[in-house]
Amino acid sequence: MSDMTISFCVLAGVVVLFVSNLIPVELVAIGAALTLYATDVLTLDETIGGFGDSSVVFIATLFVVSEGLDATGVTAWAGQQMMNRVGDSRTRLMVVMMLLVAVLTALISVNGAVAALLPMVAVLAVRLGRAPSQLLMPLAFAAHAGSMLALTGTPVSVIVSEALENAGADGFEYFEFALVGVPLLVCTIAVVVLFGERLLPTRTPKSIPPDLSEHARLLVQHYTIDDRVIEDHLPPTLITRDYGIAEVVIAPRSAAIGSPVFPGMVTDDGDLVVLAIERKGEALQAKEATLAAGDTLLLQGRWTALDARIETDPELLAVDAPAAIRRQAIPLGVGAKRAIVILVAMVVALATGMIPPVVVGLLAAGALVLFRVLSVEQAYRSISWTTVVLVGAMISMSVAMRNSGAAERVAEELIGAVGDSSPYVLASGLFLITAVLGQLISNMATALIVIPIALSAAAETDVSARPLLMTVNVAAAAALLTPVATPVNLMVMGPGGYRFGDYWKLGLPLLVVFYVIAVFLVPVFWPY
């Protein structure tokens, strides 16, 4: 069996397993790479080389930068600014919300922007008497459009830019994507504003993400806190930039069961104060009580101390994670200014193009840890290892498609199908392949499959690879028809109360918009 046939067989297996969702995508991608190695299609270096690829490292650093902005309350502040300005106007709400998520996406990635704003948008919908289903899908789709505003918007842009460099051309500049990203975003907003209300369901979900912005007030109302405890231990308010609170439950079989406790008690390490104790919904105000399983404690202390206690003590179950409370309740918290400065420096460095993107990303991630915006542990936890493993392993699939001649064969078949017609028809074919696969499997995996085909097609037809790769990039962002197309589509499904068949109704007209821009506007800026 030839290397080309093996590559096609492995690719078919990958697509089937991705669509069936029977095996985790990371294992599918790794399995594909190992199969290509076992069948001698790839050498060992080619098989594992993707994990050391500069694009993979750069993508990982973007997750750290995103966490730095989120952990310090920068994204929460941006969301609150939106909530303060939209008023009761649906049009103003849609425009401001979609612009905000698009700008955040361009800077910190699709997943980070939607995850940061989703709770606030869901709560805002309830406050304004609107169904969350009318807002959350536009939030996700605007993030897809916003991913085309800058290099850092989506890993696909990073992959496409590096593919150009590997082909011997100059990669795309940092803001070059905005030439199509801005029209894409404007048209997406226009479609949602004009037709979204009719194309989106009006449905109330079973649950929405919690609104923790007024968490301190809620806990004060719920718990009975002794006046002496307030006088002796509490700052001006329960929650400040430095100090916070956490509601914890004593786990079954906890070693703390049977220990003495009382309001105002300071923990052994001296970092936390017990403000109040409840058992079965009743306050325990005795001078001293004995802890039992299921007792609830209200703890107060520095945010760092709360984080450390919750993370290291499995016998205390947090009702709401201190980090989640801090991000919503304290916009522009400790480290926010440093995070913003580092972000701006990163954007400027990437925009100038004087330093390789991977070096800029590593410097930014390192600076966030060095200047104590994030701990090393937070930086590691922030990275989506699914994304890193998926991209790293699928690069080997892309290499196999190129080296075995499989990509060239597909390109020849595509060129044969479109004949001697214009490159616009070729671009249409590439868009169709990418868009269809992108509804079923990861758009990153799709891009890695289609990129070598686009490069081969460009060489066969003697046209520039630049517009064809940009077409693939836009098509990969058009993953709008199913909830499984991208993580953010799935992210809004529960809070929005969506069903599988809800996505295509708004997604299809937007897909047409993406097609028109990818096929007809892209060559205006990057001629064939």
Domains and CATH numbers, the chain: 59-207+333-385 (no CATH), 215-319 (3.30.70.1450)
CA distance 347 to 361: 10
Helix axes 357-370, 54-71, angle to 10 degrees: 30
What is the average pLDDT across 517-523? 96
Q: Residue 101: which H helix or E strand, with range?
A: helix 90-108
> Range with the lowest mean pLDDT among 74-88, 134-148, 156-170?
74-88
- Cβ neighbours of residue 236 under 8 Å, at least 6 residues apart? none
What is the average pLDDT across 347-355? 86
What is the average pLDDT across 48-63? 86
CA distance 201 to 327: 30
pLDDT band of 289, cuts 50, 70, 90: confident
Question: Strand 243-250's sheet: what is its strand order?
Answer: 282-283, 272-279, 296-302, 243-250, 316-318
**Rg of the chain, C-alpha, whole Å:** 26
- Greater confidence (26 vs 508) lies with 508
pLDDT at 514: 97
pLDDT at 341: 94
pLDDT band of 432, cuts 50, 70, 90: very high
Residue type, 10: V
**With b meaning 16 or more CB within 10 Å and e meaning fewer, what string describes 36-75?**
bbeeebbeeebbbbbbebbbbbbbbbbbbbbbbbbbbbbb
Supply the mean pLDDT for the chain: 86
**With b meaning 16 or more CB within 10 Å and e meaning fewer, what string describes 269-296?**
eeebbbbbbbeeeebbeeeebebeeebb
pLDDT at 162 over 70: yes
What is the average pLDDT across 171-179? 93
> How much of the chain exceeds pLDDT 70, in percent?
94
Question: 96-122 pLDDT, tens per residue?
Answer: 999 999 998 998 788 878 877 887 788
pLDDT band of 142, cuts 50, 70, 90: very high
Q: How many CA atoms lie within 13 A of 377 on its CB side?
A: 5
pLDDT at 233 over 60: no
pLDDT at 427: 94
Q: How many CA atoms lie within 13 A of 431 on its CB side?
A: 23
**Predicted structure pTM score:** 0.76
Determine the straight-line distance between the first and last CA of the chain, rounded to whole angstroms. 37
CA distance 306 to 271: 8
Residue type, 24: P
Torsion of CA 282, 283, 284, 290, to 10 degrees: 60
Report the residue count for the chain: 528
> Range with the lowest mean pLDDT among 195-199, 239-243, 371-375, 416-420?
416-420
- Cβ neighbours of residue 474 under 8 Å, at least 6 residues apart? 148, 180, 184, 431, 514, 517, 518, 522
